[in-house]
Amino acid sequence: MNFLQNYRQRQKREAKPLFAAISLGLVLAQIVFVGFYGIEYTLATGTPKECKLEITKTVDKTTAQPGDTLTYTINFKNIGTADCTGGGVKVRDIVDPLLQFQSAQNSNNVDPGYGSAPLYKVSSRTLNWNAHELTPGESGWVKWTAKVLAPKNCGAFDIPNTAHITAQELNDFRTWVDSNTVHTTGDVSCGPTTGKLIVITPPAMIPKIEE
């Protein structure tokens, strides 16, 4: 009788590692299955991985006058746990009507333009860059310069600017992440009023006409 009890207890002890291995195998199979359909999971926590983009912007002058050159710097980074992909991460900026675009630079992992869109599309005043695939922790930058134009009206003016970034993982490029907004202000003197000169001749200086 004791022999039979010992045998059953030994079977239970040997079965526990087997059940644990089967359970782990099922979990791994579920992870692989779900990952196959585009959702990545971390094995340690079971939480989904995420493409998460961060973008910041600076300008070298906060005050300027017509004729001055402004330099904008845009820094961005994948602060998530999954790759940001698609046809490439899109970086976009808008050139203010008071600016005339001049030139641009970028980091080695960025190309000017995006798909068929050029670096600068004049009709929409839009700047485009392709940051390609950004892995977790990877960053990049772009810079562009522009000349300040004279406003149509004299007085104070303000040039605000905000950059934008997106990826396929962000609602298939439909959700944009905005940078902080930078401002450059200025003031154009109105000066004296100009117009036609009107000369009024006093009556005493008007010659008399003899009849």
CA distances, 14 to each of 9, 19, 164 (Å):
9, 9, 59
CA distances, 127 to each of 29, 57, 120, 183 (Å):
45, 14, 5, 18
The pLDDT of residue 22 is 47
pTM of the entire structure? 0.71
User: Is the Cβ–Cβ distance between 148 and 67 less than 8 Å?
Assistant: yes
**Residue 26, SS3 per DSSP:** helix
The pLDDT of residue 46 is 65
The pLDDT of residue 199 is 52
Report the Cα–Cα distance between both ends of the chain, in Å, rounded: 160
- Cα–Cα distance, 206 to 196 (Å, whole number): 22
The pLDDT of residue 99 is 98
- Cα–Cα distance, 131 to 168 (Å, whole number): 12
- Cα–Cα distance, 154 to 171 (Å, whole number): 44
- Cα–Cα distance, 105 to 74 (Å, whole number): 10
Only one residue has tokens 């994948």, namely: 78
User: Is the Cβ–Cβ distance between 144 and 72 less than 8 Å?
Assistant: yes
Which burial class, exposed, middle or buried, applies to 15 when counting CB atoms under 10 A from its CB (0-12, 13-18, 19+)? exposed
- Tokens at 198, concatenated: 């009107």
What residues of the chain score a pLDDT lower than 50? Answer: 18-19, 21-22, 24, 26-39, 197
